[in-house]
Amino acid sequence: MATIRDVAKLAGVSVATVSRVLNKKGYVHEDTVKQVEQAIEQLKYKPNAVAKALFKKSSTMIAVLLSGFERASFSSILTSIENSAYEAGYQVIIGDVQNRKSYMDVLLQNNIAGILMSQEVHEQVKDQVFSIPIVVLDGQDHDRLVNYEGSRLAIAHLLEEGCCFPAFIKGGDSAFMNERYEAFLDVAEENGVPYRVIESRLSVADGERAALELLQKAPYIDGICACSDEVAIGVLRAAHQLRIQVPEQLKVIGFGAIPEGEYVYPSLTTISKPQTGEREIKELIQKMQGKPVLPITHQPAVEIVERESTKIKTQAFLINSIYPK
């Protein structure tokens, strides 16, 4: 791979002259510019982006920091972030900060322009002082309202569908998970229904393990509100193992409306919320460019996407009424 020294040697100029041509900084005679450009093209030289950023004291690199990549929803979030960043002239690097305390130091040493981080990462690094702009995914007031109202819709839907003993599978102690949990508690207590709660990590496998434990200890549970769609899919797997019919014996609702929920069996009822990523990357870019952050002009909406995991098919009722057991 060619270096800046190779370009300088082929063009017959100094390294400093090549640097001035590359950065369009300082006077260089037009004939010399042509010589340098020809040498660059001949050697197929590519400037080092990090070194260039350090020289100009600027960067077009944005870091997106997550804590584990288990959540399927991250795929659509990252796609949204990358597309918006690219359109604005920025590049994105993605890092898993789980159990890697030095990750932040490495990024700052490499002149990252700004950081997007998940709530889980923010909980890990919130005591650190940042010299660059950061934005937390799902970290704003409107996001908190979305999580709370979405979870209220979820548990209310289970009660409307006839559940008498619901349960909530909670995904840790992050702010947005606590908001979903608090909404579940509020609705359950407002309606005077008994309930159970169990913790799980945010993956299908962990959701399955939590649901198996829950349903074996409390087989009378007739509705489960999962903190995420991944966990809810795990619940469906557990119900299948235990020969519990969904939705006839157990109704299940998730949160997040990931694409996979539509294709599992039975298809997953879920809470759809505004797409995370696009708004946050735009906010971060505004901060990096020193521009005022534009306020949100409308409140994001949440809604129920009703599918087979909570809705008993009308045909089943008709058959049972015609041919009673």
User: By three-state DSSP, how is residue 132 classified?
Assistant: coil
> Is residue 323 in some structural domain?
no
* Range(s) of the domain holding residue 39: 4-47
Q: How far apart are CA 212 and CA 190, in angstroms?
A: 28
Are 289 and 85 a contacting pair, CB within 8 Å? no
Sign of torsion over alpha carbons 212, 218, 223, 229: negative
Q: Are residues 105 and 175 in the same domain?
A: no
Q: Are residues 236 and 160 in the same domain?
A: yes
Is 289 a domain residue? no
Residue 94 lies in a domain: yes
User: Does the residue 123 lie in any domain?
Assistant: yes
Distance (Å, rounded) from C-alpha 95 to C-alpha 68? Answer: 9
Q: Is residue 152 domain-shared with residue 264, that is, in the same domain?
A: yes
112 with 73, same domain: the answer is yes
E strand map for 171-250 = 196-199, 223-226
Residues 269 and 171 in one domain: yes
Q: What is the pLDDT along the chain (325 residues), one digit of tens a residue?
A: 778 888 888 888 888 888 888 777 778 888 888 888 888 888 888 776 545 544 445 577 888 887 766 665 667 677 778 888 888 888 888 877 776 666 666 766 667 788 888 777 877 777 766 778 888 876 554 566 788 888 999 999 999 999 999 999 998 777 778 888 999 999 999 999 999 999 988 889 999 999 999 999 999 999 999 988 999 999 999 999 999 999 999 999 999 888 888 999 999 999 987 666 777 888 888 888 877 776 555 555 788 889 999 987 654 434 344 444 4
Please check whether residues 169 and 311 belong to one and the same domain. yes
- Shared domain for 188 and 307, answered yes or no, is yes
Contacts of 26 (CB under 8 A, 6+ apart): 20
CATH of the domain at 70: 3.40.50.2300
Residues 166 and 310 in one domain: yes
CA pair distance 103, 95, nearest whole angstrom: 8
In a domain? residue 54: no
**Residue 41: inside a domain:** yes
For residues 8 and 94, state if they share a domain.
Answer: no
Phi and psi at 144, nearest 5°, equal: -65, -40
pLDDT in tens, 295-310: 555 555 788 889 999 9
**Residue 69 one-letter amino acid:** F
CATH number of domain containing 23: 1.10.260.40
Q: Are residues 146 and 131 in the same domain?
A: no
In a domain, 295, yes or no: no
Domain annotation covers residue 95: yes
- Burial category of 182 from C-beta neighbours within 10 Å (exposed 0-12, middle 13-18, buried 19 and up): middle
Q: Which residues of 27-46 are buried (b: 16+ CB within 10 A; e: fewer)?
A: ebeeebbebbeebbeebebe
Query: How many domains does the chain divide into?
Result: 3
Q: Tell whether 109 and 252 lie within a shared domain.
A: no
Q: What is the pLDDT of residues 218-258, one digit of tens each?
A: 999 999 999 889 999 999 999 999 999 999 999 999 998 88
Is the distance from CB of 265 to CB of 271 less than 8 angstroms? no
Identify the pLDDT of residue 49: 54
Residue 311 and residue 231 share a domain: yes
